[in-house]
Amino acid sequence: MSIRRGRNMLLSPGPTNIPERVLRAMQRAAIELHSDELVGLARSCLDDLKPIFRITEGETFIYAANGHGAWESALSNSLSPGDRVLVFETGVFGEAWAGMGQSLGLVPEFIPGDWRHGIDPQAVEDRLRADKNHDFKAILMVQTDTASGITSDVAAVSEAIQSTGHPALFMVDAVASLAATDLRMDEWKIDVAVGASQKALMSPPGLAFVAASQRAMEHSDKATLPRHYWDWRRRLDPEAYMWFCGTAPEHLLFALREAIDMIQEEGLENIFRRHQRLADAVRAGINVWAEAGAMELNALVPREQSNSVSAILVDERYGAPNVRDYCEKHLNTSLGGGLGRLSGKAFRIGHMGDINEHIVLGALGSVELGLEMCGIPHGKGSVTAAIATLAASADRAEPPLAAD
């Protein structure tokens, strides 16, 4: 393979660009497990995840695991064998979560989707109203499906659920959206939400997060799915060693602490605005490419287009994998490929976490060059369009800089 020079531009939708500060925080010896420093660090991470999940009561848990581990924590702590759960498809992850439920002994009902639209709140309401006996013990949704680039409206789904008075637990997979798109556990009456370190949390993969409402904690007392490593109750022990059911993943916590510091410095509202603005720029660029008719953004409804990741459908005559391969091998630019039913039909650009204007502009430029090299018809000028979008939305708080 040819030499690849310059930093790799990681446009994968997870893991993402890790800030230098976060990487540097891991560059240290291990410390004693019971030391004041480690206990304090772990406590602060657990506590500081709460405002990120926008939960005040309830509990947060950090696992040495990935997002799938967080799912298992969510399910196994709050449900019992044979429980029915309602799952909605907006991409690959709803189905995967349902599959896990099945492995664990639950009975998922899977509401299929076309991967190009978010969850329809009306469909949620209708299904729940039909469940007169309250057989569903939990409703599972994915806020942002990384495969499809669809962000469903959690608030609207929540409202639909509330309107029916259905008592099922409301669980949200926020792995790809946490700290990129607003999620309000308290306000939206979410019972369990799950996240992971390697997306908008800007940290290395290896940590998974679960936040559980008071109601979910109460359910866990009655839930009978067998569990130990994932067990919430055990992890609420006053002794820090139990918080991780054994040895804490120290270096990943060092990294997480630094990432949370950065999030606190910027502020969640600013972070959401930044993601919105940069994602708008990416979409402006994609729409330019789309003009030639050979590709288009997968998510059809503008307000459902994810601020974390964009999936671009490519006419199969032209081979979406080609552009991804070219970018990887020749441009040191790593894109996401098509997953599941989009396999071979799409490529994905991640734009969450530690990103800014030049990353987004470089990404579009790099991909446009890739499209050119692969002979895939595309409109030209994605970066020009993105610049216009960014200029229009730039913060004008500071006095104009132009000469007069």
Among residue numbers 84 through 113, which ones bind its own copies (CB under 8 A)?
Answer: 99-100, 103-105
* Rounded distance between C-alpha atoms, residue 30 and residue 254, angstroms: 10
Q: Least distance (Å) from its own copies to the CB of residue 170?
A: 21
* Rounded distance between C-alpha atoms, residue 159 and residue 151, angstroms: 16
Q: Is 67 in the site for its own copies (CB under 8 A)?
A: yes
Which residues does residue 311 pair with via DSSP β-bridges, in sequence order?
348
Q: Is 343 in the site for its own copies (CB under 8 A)?
A: no
65 Cβ contact partners less than 8 Å away, ≥ 6 residues apart? 72, 73, 206, 207, 208
Listed ranges 33-41, 42-50, 52-60, 162-170: which one lies at the site for its own copies (CB under 8 A): 33-41
Reply yes or no: is the peptide bond before residue 15 cis, omega within 30 of 0. yes
Single out the residue of 110, 244, 289, 347 in contact with its own copies (rule: CB under 8 A).
Answer: 244
Single out the residue of 50, 251, 273, 341 in contact with its own copies (rule: CB under 8 A).
Answer: 251
Listed ranges 44-52, 109-117, 183-191, 357-365: which one lies at the site for its own copies (CB under 8 A): 357-365
HSE, CB side, 13 Å, CA atoms: give it for residue 188: 21
If binding means CB under 8 A, how many residues of this protein chain bind its own copies? 116
Instruction: Give me 279's structure tokens.
Output: 């994602």
Q: Which residue has the tokens 């480690």?
A: 38
DSSP state of 50: H
Listed ranges 155-163, 176-184, 185-193, 197-205: which one lies at the site for its own copies (CB under 8 A): 197-205
Sort 155 into a burial class: Cβ within 10 Å, 0-12 / 13-18 / 19+: middle
Residue 248 Rama label (left phi>0; alpha psi -120 to 50; beta): beta
Between 287 and 332, CB nearer to its own copies: 332
Which residues does residue 294 pair with via DSSP β-bridges, in sequence order?
none
Listed ranges 40-48, 117-125, 161-169, 392-400: which one lies at the site for its own copies (CB under 8 A): 392-400
Single out the residue of 28, 43, 129, 134 in contact with its own copies (rule: CB under 8 A).
Answer: 28
Single out the residue of 116, 215, 227, 257 in contact with its own copies (rule: CB under 8 A).
Answer: 227
Listed ranges 51-59, 112-120, 241-249, 302-310: which one lies at the site for its own copies (CB under 8 A): 241-249
Q: Is 265 in the site for its own copies (CB under 8 A)?
A: yes
8 Å CB contact between 308 and 195: no
Listed ranges 42-50, 121-129, 159-167, 384-392: which one lies at the site for its own copies (CB under 8 A): 384-392
Question: According to CB under 8 A, which residues from 134 to 193 bind its own copies?
Answer: none
Q: Is 333 in the site for its own copies (CB under 8 A)?
A: yes
Q: Is 332 in the site for its own copies (CB under 8 A)?
A: yes
8 Å CB contact between 112 and 95: no
Between 15 and 91, CB nearer to its own copies: 15
Instruction: Give me 360's structure tokens.
Output: 């987004």
Sort 325 into a burial class: Cβ within 10 Å, 0-12 / 13-18 / 19+: middle
Q: Is 364 in the site for its own copies (CB under 8 A)?
A: yes
Listed ranges 52-60, 109-117, 214-222, 386-394: which one lies at the site for its own copies (CB under 8 A): 386-394
Residue 75's identity, in one-letter code, is L
Instruction: Give me 17's structure tokens.
Output: 């660009």
Q: Using alpha carbons, list the distances in angstroms from residue 291 to 164, 294, 327.
A: 43, 8, 21
* Rounded distance between C-alpha atoms, residue 97 and residue 87, angstroms: 8
Between 112 and 246, CB nearer to its own copies: 246
Question: According to CB under 8 A, which residues from 68 to 87 bind its own copies?
Answer: 68-69, 72, 81
**Between 291 and 320, how does the x/- string for binding to its own copies read (CB under 8 A)?**
--------------------------xxx-
Listed ranges 2-10, 107-115, 162-170, 209-217: which one lies at the site for its own copies (CB under 8 A): 2-10
Q: Least distance (Å) from its own copies to the CB of residue 171?
A: 15
Q: Least distance (Å) from its own copies to the CB of residue 45?
A: 14
- Reduced to 3 states (helix: H, G, I; strand: E, B; else coil), residue 198 is coil
Q: Which residue has the tokens 């994605």?
A: 382
Q: Least distance (Å) from its own copies to the CB of residue 82?
A: 11
Between 123 and 245, CB nearer to its own copies: 245
> Which DSSP string corresponds to 311-364?
EEEE-TTT-HHHHHHHHHHHS-EE-EE--GGGTTTEEEEE--SS--HHHHHHHH
CA angle 188, 73, 123 (to 5 degrees): 40
Q: Is 366 in the site for its own copies (CB under 8 A)?
A: yes
Q: Is 340 in the site for its own copies (CB under 8 A)?
A: no
